[in-house]
């Protein structure tokens, strides 16, 4: 009697074979890569925060937190909303093999980013001088100027070369130099300087930007031979209003993420702002998990959307929802169990804010569940609705912070933020359901499935 069943390869269990076959799937392997890169970025980020909190005295770390938050907000402003714009244009023009309009769009993006950098500089420079000296302000400005165009380039490289060459390489190049500097300061007992921390960040960002531009150029030459001689076609009537909406959206989103540290530093003092900065960084683990999903989504979803591959799109959104659900549950458990110890590792004095950390995590977890919904709104041309919801959230948060922080300190800030994050998440999902018919949020898993005949 013959047996047609193929036995598993020697030394390989059925479980390991199943795992290997899963990892060969494009959606699973891509998501695993995106998560691994985000874990690396988080590790670098928390290492930098820990070293900075220990190498700088409390007031100096507060100033570092305020400056870092301001630079992070303004380099998004400097990008002028070109990250999603250039991603959309790239996929549209590549599908249509339209080199002329692609060249026009890339030149449009270059000049828009140049103007954005000038605007960000004019906003940052006089404000920074009220906190720090000229040398420190100049190094923060250098980091800001390099980071704006870097964000745009990362989006293009991600969609063509993957997250390893885009996000992974950039995170490593930007994060490692300041970590090395602060480590050397702690080991040798040398006083750390805020200016030198930002100088290391700026040098890493400039090197990353040069490498990203080089990879983009190689990809363009490969896809469009003779691209340099193509006469660019510009469509300003379409691109200007579209970019304007995306710019306002990205700026409001960045404001929503970073403005609270700046407001607390203004209303109270840099030391309290530094403590809140640490709390927010931990609470943003859920935003980081959502960003890991977003790294993968922005690489694959635009192409599926513009090719109108609805079945594949639904399947990918389901996978993203399951992954986000897993991250949300594990993240809440991890913060509840290990959050106090993590605060202690950074600085013993920050452990008093553990209850506030738990409250804020509930809000950021709620916000993370609809991260894919925001991407769906922008991909489908409904950035106006996304802009409205984000603007209302930013306005309500700022008003709540000014009303509550003077009386309740950090506790008032985290309660206000958590409630508004949750309300925004509900609004994003409702808009996604009604306008795109996709429901890209984590809660798509609760919808009724059609019964197979």
Residue-range domain boundaries for the chain: 26-443
pLDDT tens-digit profile of 395-453?
A: 999 999 999 999 888 899 999 999 999 999 999 989 888 887 778 788 887 765 554 44
| 313-326: pLDDT as tens digits | 777 788 778 877 88
Model pTM? Answer: 0.79
Confidence at residue 446, expressed as pLDDT on a 0 to 100 scale: 78
Q: Is the pLDDT of residue 296 over 80?
A: no
How large is the C-alpha radius of gyration of the chain? 23
Is the per-residue pLDDT at 182 higher than 80?
yes
Higher pLDDT, 1 or 380: 380
Q: What span, in angstroms and rounded, lies between the C-alpha atoms of 446 and 148?
A: 38
Please answer whether residues 117 and 205 qualify as being in contact, where contact means their C-beta atoms are separated by less than 8 angstroms.
no
Above 80 in pLDDT, residue 91? no
pLDDT digits (tens, 9 = 90+) for 103-114: 998 999 999 889
Question: Could you tell me the pLDDT band of residue 335, with boundaries at 50, 70 and 90?
Answer: confident
Q: How far is residue 294's CA from residue 297's CA, in Å, rounded to a whole number?
A: 5
Taking the C-alpha atoms of residue 259 and residue 247, their distance in angstroms, rounded to an integer, is: 17
Residue 19, pLDDT > 60, answer no
Q: What Å distances lie between residue 351 and 16, 61, 178, 283, 365, CA to CA?
A: 42, 16, 25, 14, 21
CA distance 321 to 329: 12
Residue 2: pLDDT band by 50, 70, 90 thresholds? very low
Mean pLDDT of the 30-46 span:
79
Distances (CA, A) of 167 to 109, 292, 375: 20, 10, 18
Q: What is the mean pLDDT of residues 342-364?
A: 88
The pLDDT confidence band at residue 175, using thresholds 50, 70 and 90, is very high
More confident residue, 245 or 165: 165
pLDDT of residue 452: 44
Q: Which residues contact 90 (CB under 8 A, 6 or more apart)?
A: 102, 105, 156, 159
Calpha distance 170→168 (Å, rounded): 6
Residue 312 has pLDDT above 60, yes or no: yes
pLDDT at residue 28, as a whole number: 59
In whole angstroms, give the CA distance from residue 235 to residue 124: 31
The DSSP element (H or E) to which 406 belongs, if any, is helix 383-436
Mean predicted lDDT score pLDDT of the chain: 83
């Amino acid at each position: 009697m013959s047996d047609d069943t193929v036995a598993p390869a020697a030394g390989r269990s059925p479980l390991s074979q199943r795992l290997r076959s899963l990892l060969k799937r494009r959606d699973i392997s891509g998501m695993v890569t995106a998560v691994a890169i985000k874990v690396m970025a988080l590790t670098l980020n928390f290492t930098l925060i820990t070293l900075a909190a220990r190498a700088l005295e409390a007031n100096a770390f507060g100033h570092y937190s305020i400056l870092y938050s301001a630079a992070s907000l303004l380099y998004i402003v400097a990008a002028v909303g070109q990250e999603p714009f250039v991603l959309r244009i790239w996929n549209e023009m590549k599908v249509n093999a339209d080199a002329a309009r692609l060249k026009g769009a890339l030149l449009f993006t270059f000049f828009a980013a140049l103007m954005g950098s000038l605007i960000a500089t004019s906003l940052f420079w006089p404000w920074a001088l009220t906190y720090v000296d000229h040398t420190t302000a100049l190094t923060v400005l250098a980091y800001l100027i390099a980071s704006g165009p870097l964000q745009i380039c990362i989006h293009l490289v991600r969609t063509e070369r993957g997250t390893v060459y885009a996000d992974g390489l950039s995170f490593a190049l930007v994060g490692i130099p300041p970590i090395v500097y602060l480590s050397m300061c702690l080991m040798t007992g040398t006083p750390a300087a805020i200016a030198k921390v930002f100088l290391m960040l700026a040098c890493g960002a400039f090197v990353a930007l040069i490498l990203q531009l080089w990879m983009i150029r190689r990809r363009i030459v490969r896809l469009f031979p003779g691209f340099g001689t193509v006469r660019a076609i510009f469509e300003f009537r379409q691109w200007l209003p579209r970019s304007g909406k995306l710019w306002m959206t990205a700026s409001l989103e960045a404001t929503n993420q970073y403005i609270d540290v700046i407001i607390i530093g203004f209303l109270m003092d840099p030391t309290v702002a530094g403590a809140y900065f640490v709390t927010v960084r931990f609470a943003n683990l859920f935003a980081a998990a959502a960003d890991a999903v977003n790294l993968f989504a922005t690489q694959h979803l635009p192409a599926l959307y513009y090719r109108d591959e609805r079945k594949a799109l639904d399947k990918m959104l389901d996978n993203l929802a399951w992954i986000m659900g897993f991250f949300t549950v594990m993240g809440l458990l991890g913060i509840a169990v290990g959050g106090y110890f993590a605060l202690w590792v950074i600085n013993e004095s920050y452990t008093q804010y553990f209850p506030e950390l738990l409250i804020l995590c509930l809000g950021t977890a709620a916000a993370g569940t609809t991260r894919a919904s925001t991407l769906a709104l922008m991909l489908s041309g409904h950035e106006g609705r996304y802009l409205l919801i984000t603007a209302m959230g930013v306005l309500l948060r700022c008003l709540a912070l000014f009303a509550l922080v003077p009386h309740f300190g950090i506790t008032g800030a985290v309660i206000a933020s958590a409630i508004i994050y949750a309300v925004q998440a509900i609004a994003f999902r409702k808009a996604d359901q009604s306008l795109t018919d996709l429901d890209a949020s984590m809660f798509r898993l609760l919808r009724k499935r059609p019964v197979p005949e």
